Structure 1
Amino acid sequence: MYKSNFIYLWSSFLVSSIGDWLYRLALPIIILQKTGSAYHAATVFGVSFIPWVLFSLIGGSLADNFSKKKTLILGNFFAVFASLFLITVMSFPQPNFNLLYFTVFILASVDPLIHPSFQSIIPEIVINVQLVRANAMIQTIDNTLSIMGPLTGGMIVMLLGGVNALWIDTISFIVAIGILCLLPKQTESKRREHIIRKLWFDIVEGANYSFHQRVIFSGSMMFLFTNFALNMFEANFIFYMTKTLNYPLVDATIAISIGGVGSLLAGALGTQVVSRFRAGTLLSSSTILAGLSTLLLLVSTSYVYIGVILGLISFFGTINVITYFTLRQRTVPKEILGRVVSVTRMISYASIPVGAWFGGLLLDLGEPMFMVIMIAGIIRTFAGIMAKLSPLGKEK
């Protein structure tokens, strides 16, 4: 029963992730084709993470009070209509950016509302000794798609056009709903009838635990700085490759695909690595190594070389994520896990829109990508050093 239920969850995540990859690749390409603006492309990227700051706590309360299965299904159902509206907006020759930002914000609001339910349902359908393996399998989806997604997605975007490619994202939500319906019915919290009245209490309870559990809080602060650094570069990658270095889109997607090999290896080795080393040492060291690897992007502008370095960065980043997710699931009581997931995700994601906007702004002001990469690498390395000195670095 446990195995089949996890397969359903894993399959729904796979389908929706395929759609998300096309969405993340197609949207900046459409914007760059229509405007050529790194600022607008990076700002749209950043706007998509603002809901994580605003709605994560609500998502955590939903996860701990309502059926996680229902939350996941309703979230994907809402995403279908938001995605259709985005397709309409992007169909105009020149997009209205205020309307575009609003639409991206609405679609992006689904993830923070359902992500805590997704994370906190895993310990309910997977036995404790299999948590590392389950998290590694979930991460393997992202890792595999990070290899196949860019190249395949780039070909789909070139063949169908960016707007038509967005339709696949819409269909992925519908298919995910069908798979999630196969999960067993869950018992909802007895506090459900008081959800509105108790929402504030639930948020405070989750925040208090997250802020006072020093290891968990240190981890979320580490990700706050690493996400700022990562997204300074990531939000502007397509612009850098196609506009600054003048590579065709296919070469840019090849570089991303090569980079995905690192994530795939980390997912495959995650169970052995996480089980062999102390969590604190692994989290701080992988962050430092990811930061130093980022600085290696300054050495060459060959798209193959860039892909190899992206592979190093993604390898350490993926080990980082698997380690922290497993640590959080093992440390936090199940009855409050959804809220803790939401609080820590809210903290760590708060810097993403700022980092994306800041990187795009630097490029728009005429600063070279060299400067963006150097700042990003230094910040991420510094975040790992500080994590090593924090309670997180001492965690076993």
Structure 2
Amino acid sequence: MYRLLLSYINTSVCSWSLTFIIPLIILDVTGSALYVSLAYSVSILPYIIITPIAGAVGDSSNKKHVIQIGEILSAIIVLLIPLVDLTVDNIWYLLMLSFLSSCTSAVHHPIFQSIIPNLIEDEKIPKFNSFVHISDNIISISIPVVVGMFLLLGTKIDLIYIISFGYLLSFVLVSSIRYTPDKVIDKFSIKLIINSTKDGFCYVLSNNTIKYAAILFFGVNFGIRIFYANFVYHLSSDYSLSDSEISNYFSIIGLGSIIGAIFAAKLIGRFENGVIIIWSTILTAVMSLLVCFSSSAIETIILWSISSLCQSIIIVTFFTLRQREVPPELLGRTVAVTRMISYLAIPIASISGGWIMDNTQNFNNIALISGLVIFISAILCMSPLTKKQMKRVVD
């Protein structure tokens, strides 16, 4: 268990560091906010385009081998970055490498999630998912600080080489894990991948629990992303906070996420998963709506920290539900399809949120939309996600 978790943490550190450092390199070269925004957009695209295919590849092959290949490819892609002549005319090469690196990350997530039930005992899965989500939050909080400290001593290219080495270390860790695939595919073809991907979509559509959980996640992700996309601007312009103050406040939000991940492991098993997800979603919506009445930055941060706590509970609970509900041979594709659906909300939320802020200059409108979308999503999905649990109680 610990080697699997350590490999995940190591890969996540590399991925987060790369996502942070490439825009900085692009900013140094171009001095353009547009190019920086483009870099972030490019890094999101694979999670929408590649992820469904990745699930099919994982379910149709040896998951351990797919992860190993991904780590090696990531190391090679990162090593190509220093070879690019860093000029404005060549910035498209760097964006392409950023896209390819994000492709390997998009493949890694569904494969990693689907291999967990093969390697972790069923009763330990909630705890393991909790550790994974805690790790994600600690990494997201600490990477900007760690990268900033490193750049005081070294260069961005030095960090690129370290990231490449990190991917190789993940390859070694994964290689040391004992894993026997559920089945071996003799003939691996494009047709097989297409049919396999289609089966993944069909399964999600046919399983009411998973289907409505995916719909719920789309709504929750939209509400969260429309809020986050304008949150820094809100704290800076409406409350006149400095960059350092905003960073400190975001650390408080990250702490809420960590507490939520720990709390989730305690809730799972005591209450039905669907019930946990729905009520955590409703609380998330309430926190967004209460932001409309907030009169200070610290009140807003406290409310969103509670929201982040609830978000962590939703994520850990859903990951556990999905790993237990879905047959192992379909898990990779199911993870991929549900993740793709949730990521579709990101560009829609970001663009619409920016348009609303430009035209109204009132963050309360964003908080109101965020809360309403999340709340309506919870109400629409409440019956399908809790029906099975209610029937079980009656029986």
For normalisation by structure 2, the TM-score amounts to: 0.85
**2:172 corresponding residue in structure 1:** 178
**2:224 corresponding residue in structure 1:** 230
Larger Rg: 2
Distance 1:29 1:365 in 2: 29
Following superposition, the deviation at residue 167 of structure 1 comes to 5.3
Q: 2:203 aligns with which of 192, 206, 209?
A: 209
Mind listing any 5+ residue stretches in structure 1 that lack a counterpart?
Answer: 1-5
Distance 1:381 1:310 in 2: 15
Q: What is the percentage of aligned positions where both structures have the same residue?
A: 26
Distance 1:240 1:226 in 2: 20
Question: Does the Cα contact within 8 Å between 1:135 and 1:325 map onto a contact in 2?
Answer: yes
Question: Does the Cα contact within 8 Å between 1:145 and 1:260 map onto a contact in 2?
Answer: no
Question: Does the Cα contact within 8 Å between 1:146 and 1:257 map onto a contact in 2?
Answer: no
Q: 1:275 to 1:146 in 2, by over 3 A?
A: farther
Deviation track 1:141-175 (CA, whole Å, cap 9, x = no partner) reads: 12333454454455446776777655554443232
In structure 1, give the amino acid aligned to 2:325: T
Distance 2:363 2:90 in 1: 28
Following superposition, the deviation at residue 189 of structure 1 comes to 3.3
Mind listing any 5+ residue stretches in structure 2 that lack a counterpart?
Answer: 390-395
Aligned: 1:283 with 2:280: no
Q: 1:237 to 1:25 in 2, by over 3 A?
A: farther
Deviation track 1:246-276 (CA, whole Å, cap 9, x = no partner) reads: 5443322212211111111122222211221
**1:393 corresponding residue in structure 2:** 386
Distance 1:161 1:365 in 2: 40
Distance 2:2 2:22 in 1: 30
Aligned: 1:128 with 2:104: no
Distance 1:231 1:30 in 2: 25
Following superposition, the deviation at residue 12 of structure 1 comes to 0.8
Aligned residues: 387
Distance 1:177 1:367 in 2: 48
**1:347 corresponding residue in structure 2:** 341
Root-mean-square deviation (Å): 3.2
**1:16 corresponding residue in structure 2:** 11
Question: Does the Cα contact within 8 Å between 1:26 and 1:162 map onto a contact in 2?
Answer: yes
Q: 1:256 to 1:395 in 2, by over 3 A?
A: farther
In structure 2, give the amino acid aligned to 1:374: L
Deviation track 1:275-304 (CA, whole Å, cap 9, x = no partner) reads: 2122122111111211222334442453x4
Following superposition, the deviation at residue 25 of structure 1 comes to 4.3
Q: 1:329 to 1:144 in 2, by over 3 A?
A: same
Deviation track 1:316-361 (CA, whole Å, cap 9, x = no partner) reads: 1110011111111111111211111112112222222222333344
**1:62 corresponding residue in structure 2:** 57
In structure 2, give the amino acid aligned to 1:394: K
Question: Does the Cα contact within 8 Å between 2:60 and 2:196 map onto a contact in 1?
Answer: no
**2:255 corresponding residue in structure 1:** 261
- Report SS of the residue matched to 1:351: helix
- Report SS of the residue matched to 2:189: helix
Q: 1:107 aligns with which of 97, 101, 106?
A: 101
**1:3 corresponding residue in structure 2:** none
- Report SS of the residue matched to 2:188: helix
Q: 1:385 to 1:36 in 2, by over 3 A?
A: farther
- Report SS of the residue matched to 2:268: helix
Matches within 5 A, 1:16-165: 16-26=11-21, 37=33, 44-85=39-80, 92=87, 101-156=95-150
Distance 1:375 1:164 in 2: 43
Matches within 5 A, 1:278-357: 278-298=272-292, 299-300=294-295, 302=297, 304-357=298-351
For normalisation by structure 1, the TM-score amounts to: 0.84
Structure showing greater relative contact order (alpha-carbon pairs closer than 8 Å, 6 or more residues apart)? 1
Q: 1:235 to 1:392 in 2, by over 3 A?
A: same
**1:384 corresponding residue in structure 2:** 378
